[in-house]
Amino acid sequence: MPNFNTDVPSEEAGRCFECCIKCLGGIPYASLIATILLYAGVALFCGCGHEALSGTVNILQTYFEMARTAGDTLDVFTMIDIFKYVIYGIAAAFFVYGILLMVEGFFTTGAIKDLYGDFKITACGRCVSAWFIMLTYLFMLAWLGVTAFTSLPVYMYFNLWTICRNTTLVEGANLCLDLRQFGIVTIGEEKKICTVSENFLRMCESTELNMTFHLFIVALAGAGAAVIAMVHYLMVLSANWAYVKDACRMQKYEDIKSKEEQELHDIHSTRSKERLNAYT
């Protein structure tokens, strides 16, 4: 009968298992969780915010009968277009920034330490961690501002949704919404819609208002998730900073200890030579 040797496959499987465990141990899970949260928050903010702005344009043109101003006049439609381009920039910038933070997380893990040694981690990783801590703190403040700014359209649409709801509960109520009180149009323009008008009833019955309102809410939640991700990144980067700082101190201690041992060895060798010369 043929004799099958199973020792070699078992050894290869053991080495493969050890390699997988080593790779999994080198993954920066804290940075990975923060990156996933950041990408989810930015995706919700950018995607839902973009669609909500498009819905706002349709609502203003359809129900408030507003039109784009010819020329280079800075009107509400031009501002919305600018916000859309800002959203494009935010999506691209934080996609790259999340990758950079993941690379920084891999750089300060034990796997890189075993591969390159302590010196390269402390010499380069210390500066990288400090730089990213400063950038992440600034981005956290920026996202706080974005969150506060996103809450404004949520408040506006909540007022509009409340007026629509009150018209169904209170018969004969004449409620009006003037865009001038929100700064959307100038004081000289009167863009007001009341509950007795046909446009108001069509707007309240349409799904476009409800969808735009909820899109802005999801965009606000995405901005809040991005703030939480920035805070998480700050904790991770602070821990990495402490790690590389301790590694630097340990490296200096090892250098001093090695230098002292070398000096003691040289002194011992010199004395041994002197004794041998005196004996001869």
User: What is the pLDDT at residue 206?
Assistant: 83
- pLDDT tens-digit map of 70-111: 666 677 888 899 999 999 999 999 999 999 888 877 777 654
Whole-angstrom Cα distance, residue 61 to residue 49? 18
Q: Look at the alpha carbons of 55, 57, 59, 61 in this order and tell me if their dihedral is positive or negative.
A: negative
Residue 119, pLDDT above cutoff 50: no
Residue 208, pLDDT above cutoff 80: yes
User: What is the pLDDT at residue 123?
Assistant: 54
Whole-angstrom Cα distance, residue 204 to residue 175? 13
Band (230; pLDDT cuts 50, 70, 90)? very high
Half-sphere CA count of 188, side-chain side, radius 13 A: 0
Whole-angstrom Cα distance, residue 265 to residue 35? 51
Whole-angstrom Cα distance, residue 107 to residue 34? 16
User: What is the pLDDT at residue 19?
Assistant: 65
Residue 191, pLDDT above cutoff 70: yes
Please tell me what DSSP assigns to residue 123: I
Query: Which range among 57-61, 83-87, 215-219 shows the weakest confidence by mean pLDDT?
Result: 57-61
The contacts of residue 267 (CB under 8 Å, 6+ apart) are none
Residue 43, pLDDT above cutoff 90: yes
User: What is the pLDDT at residue 241?
Assistant: 74
User: What is the pLDDT at residue 44?
Assistant: 95
- pLDDT tens-digit map of 129-183: 788 889 999 999 999 999 999 999 999 888 888 888 777 655 666 777 777 777 7
Band (277; pLDDT cuts 50, 70, 90)? low
Query: Is 215 in contact with 48 (CB distance < 8 Å)?
Result: yes
Angle at 183 between CA 211 and CA 71, to 5 degrees: 90
- 32 vs 230, higher pLDDT: 230
Band (231; pLDDT cuts 50, 70, 90)? very high
Assign 74 to helix, strand or coil.
Answer: coil
User: What is the pLDDT at residue 118?
Assistant: 47
- Mean pLDDT (the chain, rounded): 78
- 68 vs 279, higher pLDDT: 68
